Structure 1
Amino acid sequence: MQSLFKLTREMELKLHALLAEVQELKNKAQELEEENSRLRKDLAALYREGLGGDGADSGVPHKGFFNLLGLYDHNFHICNAYFGRKRSGDCLFCMAFLRKEQEPQLGSGT
């Protein structure tokens, strides 16, 4: 009976260690999500700053771009394949679309 108690105690200790590790992973995931959110906001601010100084004649595309960027920041797809659907992570199609929309505007400013 002593060995059964000892095995149960060892299993309990391992479960506590595993629970602590899972909690640590959850905390790290939350930190990373907060950092990701902060970086997205910083990126959006940089886009706004970079596009704001190009001139008033191209104001309409900027507004549309910012609207799409806002949709993407609110976890919606902006790519033609899944437009308007909720997304659970980053979408390469959406990111490529944002990059494609941004490149001509950056090129015209230099």
Structure 2
Amino acid sequence: MDDVQVAASEYPRYLKAAYGEESFPKPRNLIGLAQDLPVPEMERLMMQHAKASDDDMGQLASQRAQGVRDALLATGQVGAERLSVIAVKPFTPEERQKLKGRPNRVDFAMK
């Protein structure tokens, strides 16, 4: 999948195809057909209806942390003994409330 590249000129066509395959309710025109929407609106609706569980988000966080660790090690300026990836610490309901639906956090420390 890393080798797949979509030209900017092809992006709207592939986005429209992916959007059409989604099962969420779509805006309809007067005769009931799905409206032809601009790219930003299709992207917004797809993001709005994307489903990810806490486990999915934890797995993504772990993969991202490992990627950052690998990138730092690749510089050769930081030794492996100074870096470690720890278990994901999910937000508490109180923390989520404070963030108003935008839970993003990075906990970073180096030895």
- Which protein has the larger Cα radius of gyration, Structure 1 or Structure 2? 1
**Shared fold per TM-score greater than 0.5:** no
Judging by fraction of residues, say which structure has more helix: 1
